[in-house]
Chain A
Amino acid sequence: MKGFLKILALTFFVLITLWSSAVGQLYGTNTFEFQFGNLPFEEDTDLSTSYNQLNLYYDSGKFSLFGKAEQFLSLHTERNYFQLTQKRFQYQDDNFRIRLGNFYETIGSGLLLRSYDIPGSVFESDFYRTRYAFFRDLEGIAFDASLDWVEIKALRAEPLQNDLPPNFKPDSLRRPDLLEAFQANFFPTENLSLGAAVMRVNTPNSSNYEEFASLMTNIQLPANFQLFGEYAFSTESDLFSFNNDQSYALYSGLNYFKGSFGVSFEYKNYSNFRLESSGFNDPPSLIKEHTYPVLNRSTHVPNTSSEKGVQAEAFYSFEDGHSLVANYAYTLNNVFNKKEYREYFLEGLYKFSDEFSLKSFIDFATDEREGQDNRISLGLISDKSFGNSRNVIIDLQYQTYNEFGSSDKIENYFASLSFGFTSAFNISAVFEATTELGLTDNPSTFPEIETDTRTWLGFYSLYRVNTSNSVALFVGKRRGGPACTSGICYEILDFEGAELRITTRF
């Protein structure tokens, strides 16, 4: 049987290469990751796992095919899988597209529906301990078309519940909801867009559909102002009744720019608007997305049961390369009782020469939902280049806050030192420390409670072999926690050991 499959593989390879050269084009990416180690405090400390993700695209004129294959292997065979996790057929020309299979689509600003892909990310939960690609796609059929004065899209699909791994059984629980949606946006003038969407959802164990609708607009105003907004609601709720017993989501924004100055204002008001059961909608959080590690972890995930708030952000770029960013965000949750989130952020980039720059930030926040009071975060990053190919980056960050109801002061430290030898080779060392009790304590020693400062030290290297291949190696301890990328927040696990990642583009 094995011999037969080998011959089949060889035959398949010959046919595909001949076919792809003659008829269309075949492209892809592959990510292979090998880990040796485990979560800190967990056995086996020498657990080894491998994960591979292959994305293949075949294009022939206006037609294209796509497939994503994932494989996970570990000593715990019940966690292992090999699966075709996405496949798609697509036909597209300049004004028209139809997709069949797995695809991504967003209705309006995501108040009703948002799907996404985080390319290159590998997700693992503490419960299943299986690694897989992190995305929330839709499986079904979608159609969209555009003319000068109108754009429409329609879909019938099942969204993925991405906290369940690909080998979860029964498979039907990974896609419990069925959606049908239609959106139309009209452009009566060059500066005005008016849109509407309707969506109905069939949830598990229910023969009925829940129905939702949305109204949206985008207006280009004189003097570089842009105004936009969306109001989504359950069709069982009273229209434009903003009572907290109604089901609605209102999101609007205004932005402006002039010369080197830009500013944006946003407002949100969400009530009873988490669309069960797979949570496929994603109303904007209106909290700044930080990439600084101490702040990225301290994010705020909207509670769409009851959340109101505002966000304002201003940018200014100086001619000599300096820039400033200021941000203010306020959120009020009112589920069982009122909880406030308030954040002030200021960031500066100072370019002293083409070879030397400094960046600094200061952030002050109060997060009642997370029990964090007077949270202060600071950072200073220096970047020194030597010619066009070498550079040194020193990144120092600190965070402290008081826990509500406690006099204890929590502290987080982050420090990294990176060397870039050419644009192709980087090495860095990252040190982190915390006094958070939830992280300093080793649960396996219960009832003993460890309170000593906990530290992580890890070493990274990245070598880009050529424009198609790269090799990354991590050795040491890596701190996990909440992380946000492209507006999507998820939990990543701690890791202690060695990790090798090979990425190929072909």
Chain B
Amino acid sequence: MKYLLLLSLLFGTLEHSKNEVPNFRLKNLDERTVSYNQVKGENLTVIDFWATWCKPCVKSIPEFVKMDEEFDDTQVQFIGISIDGPRNKAKVKPFIKSLGVEYPVLRDSDSSVMGRLGVRAVPSLLIINSDNEIIYFHEGYKSGEEVEIKNKILELLEE
């Protein structure tokens, strides 16, 4: 019966909810704490969850670097969130810089923001509008999917 209470709560809210990104706080690569509001874009914000040990991320990140160069920062702001723990902390900065990333990179070392945004695997990509609503979610990456992601960004920019 207790479970029924929770299930009714779950299904009862399905149509009402639109997941908003809270103003989370994470450390950047210089060990300074920054909030989401400080790094998000004016229009669309693209958050890429990744890790140094994630093999598909090595392929997807260069594609996001190309998109970041292509889109104006006022239109699309990319943010990388590494879920590497202290074990891989030393590798995060040289790894991401060697891939040419210039956009802000934050560290979610206990995966709490990952859990809060409903992310279960890396890489996962979220597109967030100016009202902080998650309007697109893409889990995993295989070659060619960057086209689908780019088309989605273009479609959202036109709206």
Contact = CB atoms under 8 A, between A and B. Distances in A.
A119 B85 contact: no
A212 B92 CA distance: 28
Contacts of A256: 94
B8 A92 contact: no
A359 B85 contact: no
Contact of B19 (A117, A285, A505): A505
A140 interface: no
Interface string B44-68: 0000000111110011001000000
Interface stretch (A3-11, A366-374, A397-405): A3-11
B112 A151 contact: no
Interface string A374-405: 00000000010101110101000000000000
A5 B1 contact: yes
A415 interface: no
Nearest to A253: B90
Interface in A282-329: 282, 284-286, 289-291, 311, 313, 315-317, 321, 323
A355 B4 contact: no
A417 interface: no
A490 B23 CA distance: 32
Contacts of A470: 139
A486 interface: yes
Contact of A25 (B2, B20, B62): B20
A317 B13 contact: no
A343 to B, nearest CB: 14
Interface string A178-199: 0000000101000001000000
Interface in B14-58: 14, 16-20, 22-23, 25, 30-33, 35, 37-38, 51-55, 58
A321 to B, nearest CB: 7
A272 interface: no
Nearest to A503: B120
B16 A487 contact: no
B19 A17 contact: no
A207 interface: no
Nearest to A116: B110
Contact of B137 (A14, A119, A321, A467): A467
A125 interface: no
B62 to A, nearest CB: 7
B46 to A, nearest CB: 15
Nearest to B36: A94
Given A16-B9, A109-B89, A486 B98 contact: no
A20 B22 CA distance: 16
A52 B23 CA distance: 28
Contacts of A64: 22
Interface in B107-159: 109-112, 114-116, 118-121, 136-140, 142-145, 147-148
B13 A16 contact: yes
A364 to B, nearest CB: 19
A56 interface: yes
Contacts of A29: 115, 118, 120
Contact of B85 (A2, A21, A218, A487): A487
B104 interface: no
Given A117-B111, A262-B97, A262-B98, A506 B14 contact: yes
Contacts of A12: 5, 8-9
A55 B112 CA distance: 12
A393 B53 CA distance: 19
A119 B32 contact: no
Contact of B59 (A9, A28, A97, A357): A357
Interface in A126-143: none
Contact of B111 (A119, A289, A351): A119
B88 interface: yes
Given A92-B23, A220-B30, A486-B85, 9 more contacts: A20-B17, A27-B118, A55-B115, A71-B3, A114-B86, A119-B119, A193-B32, A317-B62, A317-B100
Interface of B: 1-6, 8-10, 12-14, 16-20, 22-23, 25, 30-33, 35, 37-38, 51-55, 58-59, 62, 83-91, 93-95, 97-100, 109-112, 114-116, 118-121, 136-140, 142-145, 147-148
